[in-house]
Every structure is written in structure tokens, then in C-alpha cells.
Amino acid sequence: MTWIDDYTNAMMKSAPTPGALLTRGEGCYVWDADGNRYLDLLGGIAVNVLGHAHPFLVSAVTAQLATLGHVSNFFTTPNQVGLAERLLELLDAPPGSAVFFANSGTEANEAAFKLSRRTGRTGLVAAEAGFHGRTMGALALTHKPAYREPFEPLPGNVVHVPFGDLDALDQAIDQHTAAVFLEPIQGEAGVRTPPPGYLSAARERTRAAGALLVLDEIQTGMGRTGAWFAHQLPAVLGAGEAPVVPDVVTVAKGLGGGIPIGALVALGPEAAGLLSAGQHGSTFGGNPVATAAGLATLHVIERDGLLANATSTGDHLAAAIDSLAEPLISGVRGHGLLRAIQFSQPVAGATARHLLTAGFIVNAVAPDALRLAPPLILTTDQADTFVAALPAALAAAAKEIS
Ligand code: PLP
């Protein structure tokens, strides 16, 4: 029996077959059970912002677990309030703003979906190719038919519009619209940035219609793109655009550096007041260990200048891939350390497989695109080892499709 047989016998077949049995991690590397080392350029799907087994995160989490591990939402803890305050600061939140803690991205969006219903309206607008999670409400916002159709009927009144198309957004928003849900950069769609000015215009249109603007920063937040949140990035907003203040921001993934946590941040008293006592809750949400992880992660990002590192290493990586001048590579998209390599042929799956064999973890986010979402501590030297390995993996993949 191999580990894959054990996996197959014990695990539900809802996920793709795993690529390796991983047993250990340190920094940007993980090791499998046979001792093979991999440079982790996926970071647990944009989660491990501090890499693996980061000493500060490990000590914060273990110290908290040894002191007070869980209390339920009948009580609060200094960490919970501290992390909420920190998130409000990072979002430059106006007075009256407030945080709800969940345990994952889909739960943060589920909370936002419920909050939107408290406007008294039920219409929702989301983007084509957008991804917001897999629980029923979040799934209704997610666009991909293969994810949605087996579970229909989903909670209703969601209209999907082409991402980045202002006219389509205008036509979809009316007096029944409770909220517009958008990713500032679409992650699962292959790292797609909307045209400059799109988010500002979405803000303007939602405000005029009395609808909420919900920005899903689950994949793009916590420094991933070189700013704390992608909607704060001038390259995403558009040059000269005023800052966008959404009504709700949802976060998860990188927030806990690998410990499950999600959050909904409601900006301003109106959005923050929509859910009243007893209308939403979570047993684990914002527990002392998860919020210790959140505080530790934010502390290290700031202390070690990881926003700047995400920008400089991300730019270096993109330039180095470009300079390969590989005929199969048609471009590199994204910002900071959220990138996609676009191919002119559907070689992403095979390339990812060959890269894994060569010791690099990446993700075929589409048949013709690879996604990179590595730890924000990635160095340029580590990035260069990947760039050096890419041509051989690509050549092997190209052979398979020829
Ligand atoms: N929203 C976005 C933009 C995501 O990328 C994801 C996960 O990939 C989610 C929501 C769902 O998060 P989770 O898998 O933690 O439920």
C-alpha cells in the first residue's frame, strides 16, 4: 500500500488527487515523506504569507494555546478585540465600523450575504468568473457552472456580469440590488485585474443605487499584492483615482498565516449596524488562538517589510519570466506575489506536473495559465531557481501536447 492508496481508502473524492504527501515545512520550502524538497510557490493557495513554521507565528500560537485556547462567542478575549482593531486600522475604517470573525473565506462571504439581506433588498450582483467560496450562499455568488450546477437551487437573486464591464454593471444594478460582490483582482479566474477606474465607478454606482459594495479580499488581501489590500493599490484603482471605501471587505487565507480564520469588516455605522444580536454567529469565530495567529502574522508582515518584499520580489519574478522569451509564454499578469503566467497553449497542467517533479509547487489555475502565490518572504534567489527550471518543464509539457 502506498500513501495514495491510504488516501483513496480514507478520504472523500471531493478534492483533486493530491500531488504529494507533505510532512514538514520551513520558510518557503516543504518536504514530502520521502525527503524530497519543494519550493512552495503556491503557499497553501495564497495562505502561508510567512512561509512554513515561522518561529514568531509558532510561538504566538503555542503560547496562546497553552494559556487560553477557546472561549466561544459568549465571551471575548484581548486578541479578538486587538485583531479587530488592527484590521480596522489597516482599512482606514471610519468611526462606527466593526468586524465579525469567521473561520474561512466562504464563511466570511456567507456572513456578507446574510448582512446584505438586512438591507431589505435581495438582489445581488457578482462577476463572471468570480470565486467567492463553496457554501450555499457563497456558491450562489461564485460563477463557475461546474461548481454551481450540481447544487442548484442556490439562494436566489444573483446576477453575474462580465468583470470589468461598467455598462453591464450599470444595467444590473437597480433599486432591488442589496449588494455588489467583487474581487479587486480575480484570483481563481487566473489573476485578472479590472480596468483602472472600475472599482471607483462600482463604488459610485452602488452608492447612488443605495446598494452595498462588498470587496472580497480573501485571496488578494494581507499584503499579497504589495498593499495590505488590493483595492488600495494604485495600479488596481487607477492613477489619480480617490481611495475606494467599500461597505464591506471580506478577508481570510493569509490573515492567520495558516491557522484558519476569516473576517468580515463592515465599514461605517450603516453597514456595521445591519446585523443585530443573535442574527449571525460562530462557535469558533475569532477564537484566541486564531486571532493570536492573525496578530502575529500582521506583526511580522509589518516588522519585516513584507509588503515591499512582495512588490520587489514579485516584479523581479515577472521580469525574469518575461526575459526567458519563451515562445509558449504570452505574458505574466498580477501584482506583488499574486501572479499568473499565461501560455499560448493549454500546457499549464503538464507544466505544473513537471515542475513538481523538479521540486516546485505551482498551480494550474486554468488549462493555459499557472498561478504563483508564494509566501511573502520569498527571496529573489529562490524566485530565480524557479525561473531557471521553467523552460525544461515547459518543453516537457509541450512535447506531451504535440
Ligand atoms: N473568495 C476568494 C476570492 C477566494 O479566492 C476563496 C478561496 O480560494 C474564497 C473566497 C473561499 O475561501 P475558503 O476556501 O477559505 O472558504
pLDDT averaged per 10 residues in sequence order, the chain, 402 residues: 94 93 98 98 98 98 98 97 98 98 98 98 98 98 97 96 98 98 98 97 98 98 98 94 97 98 98 96 97 98 98 98 97 98 98 98 98 98 98 97 84
Predicted TM-score (pTM) above 0.75:
yes
Number of domains in the chain: 2
The pLDDT tens digits of the residues spanning 343-361 come to 999 999 999 999 999 999 9
Q: Same structural domain for residues 240 and 327?
A: no
Q: Nearest-CA neighbor of 130 among 214, 64, 24?
A: 214
What CATH number does the domain containing 351 carry? 3.90.1150.10
CA distance 288 to 398: 49
Instruction: Kindly state whether residues 86 and 142 are assigned to the same domain.
Output: yes
User: What's the domain range around 324?
Assistant: 3-54+305-401
Q: What local confidence, expressed as pLDDT, does residue 156 receive?
A: 85
CA of 401 to the centre of ligand 1 (A): 31
| pLDDT of the residue at 41 | 98
Same domain, 130 and 238: yes
Whole-number pLDDT of residue 95: 98
Instruction: Tell how far the Cα of 48 is from the centroid of ligand 1, in angstroms.
Output: 14
Q: How far apart are the first and last CA of the chain?
A: 35
- Other CB atoms within a 10 A radius of the CB of residue 114 amount to 17
Same domain, 69 and 180: yes
Tell me, what's the pLDDT at 401?
86
* 110 in contact with ligand 1, CB cutoff 6 A: no
**pLDDT recorded at residue 220:** 98
What pLDDT sits at residue 1? 83
**Strand 158-161's sheet: what is its strand order?**
98-102, 262-266, 248-251, 212-216, 177-182, 123-127, 158-161
Pocket test for ligand 1, best of 107, 113, 131, 231 (most atoms within 8 A of CB): 131
Long-range contacts from 31-38, C-beta under 8 angstroms, 24+ separation = 33/3, 36/359, 37/359, 38/356, 38/359, 38/360, 38/361
Judgement on whether residues 45 and 74 belong to the same structural domain of the protein: no
